[in-house]
Structure formats: structure tokens, C-alpha cells
Amino acid sequence: MQKNMTVKELPDQERPYEKCLAYGAGALSDAELISVIIRTGSQGERSIDLANRILNAGPDGLLNLLRLDVERLTQIRGIGNVKAIQLKCIGELAKRIASTSRREQITLQSARSIAEYFMEQLRHEPQEHLMLAMFDNKSMLIGEKLLSTGTSNAALISARDIYRTALQYQAAYVVVLHNHPSGNPEPSREDILVTRKIKACGELLDILLMDHIIIGDNRYFSFREQDILFEKGRD
């Protein structure tokens, strides 16, 4: 029975460890980066070959690490629970790094800065997620919270949950965000009606809804940017 081939058994010019030391991690291909994480292939297969099969296991290449769940990953020959969990954790870490790097750039006046902060966190989700971003009276982000997870086409939006959370954080302003798994961020009629309801409730509590941002696939829709947040007649 052939043993699993490790990264160390590759020819010197193909070893990602040495390549990384010599040229930096940026010089490694997607497959080489993954091979460093998984370390071994399976039954005589090189880790780099297994990495390529992971990249080809779905239509999204590197995004397979985010979009394939553990069950689907373990269906790839050579991937057990441990490797699958390692890959999912790397995908999650990448999302958090992307968000953290953008946090300091968030301003309440810029829908783009808020959308970009939440983009990696939300755009890959197969179900709608409702997020609340909360700001103080100096327009600084003071908190964020996932409020609900819906079905594949409808988030469960509750104005009561939104403002109960905002009061706990002593927020002066809030921005509501949710994703459209279809990738198209255009609002539905229901999105518009719910936004009006949330805005009206906030006015009673003196906590202003400053925007409702819908996240698509590398796209977003801002009610404030489109000048419909404060409109009363649009359906």
C-alpha cells in the first residue's frame, strides 16, 4: 500500500515551503497555499494534486473553501473530517481578516465603506442573514450583531429585535444589512415595506435608521444612496 505523499517529498523546486521562504507567500499558487495547509495527499497522491482537486470540486475555485460545507468537502477523495475542518477554518479566517482590515475605514456617511466591511461575511451565505451595525453619536461603529438567519429567499426581520439590540449598545444610529443569496442586491417590494416599518419604529425611540444595505455578489444596494430611504410613496 502506497503511503501518502507529503510536501517535503516534492522536488525542491516544487516545495511550497521553500518557495515561500525564498519569494514570499504571494508567490505561491492557490493550490500551493492549500497544499501547505493540508500537508499530505492520499495513497501516493501529492498534496499539490489533492489541492488542485479541491479547487476543481466546484465551480468557484478558491471560493470552494467558503461555499462547500464539511459534508461536501469530505466527499472529495483524500479529505477526511480533519482536513475539511482545517479548510473551513482557513476560509473563515480569510473572511475575518478581510472584514477587520476594513473596519477602521467605516464611516456612517459612506454606504460603500459599510458594504465593503460586511461583503465577505455575507456574500457567500446560502441563506439570508440580517445584520445590524450600530453607531454612536459621533458616527463611530460601536457594535455589530447577527440578528436572524432566514430561508434561501427571506430574512426574518423584526423591528423589535433591531431596536432592543440598539438600546443595549446605547446606539444613536443604526444600519440594517442583509444579503441576497441570488447575488442580485436589488430590493424587493417586501424589502422596501419592511424598511419603512423599521425607520418609523426608530423615530419613536430616537434611534435613527441611517441606511438599509442589501449585499449581493460583490455588489450592494443602499437605500440611502438611491434616495429611497426617506421616500413614502415608492412601492
**Span 143-174, pLDDT tens digits:** 999 999 876 555 557 888 999 999 999 999 99
Start-end of H helices in the chain: 16-23, 30-38, 47-55, 64-67, 70-73, 81-103, 111-122, 159-168, 189-205
Give the pTM. 0.64
Q: At what angle do helices 16-23 and 30-38 cross, to 10 degrees?
A: 120
Residue for cell digits 421616500? 231
Residue 66: its pLDDT value, please?
A: 84
Torsion-angle region of residue 221: left (phi > 0), alpha (psi -120 to 50) or beta? Answer: beta
What is the three-class DSSP state of 228?
Answer: coil
Residue 150: its pLDDT value, please?
A: 79
Q: For domain 106-222, give its CATH number from 3.40.140.10, 3.40.430.10, 3.20.20.70, 1.10.10.10.
A: 3.40.140.10
- Low-confidence residues of the chain, pLDDT below 70? 1-14, 101-105, 151-156, 230-235
**Span 57-75, pLDDT tens digits:** 888 888 888 888 899 999 9
188 DSSP assignment: P
- The answer to whether the CB of 34 falls within 8 A of the CB of 51 is yes
161-188 in b/e burial notation, b at 16+ Cβ within 10 A? ebbebbeebebbbbbbbbbbbeeebebe
Q: How far apart are CA 235 and CA 222, in angstroms?
A: 16
Q: How far apart are CA 78 and CA 103, in angstroms?
A: 38
Q: From the DSSP assignment, how many helices (H) and strands (E) are in the chain?
A: 9, 5
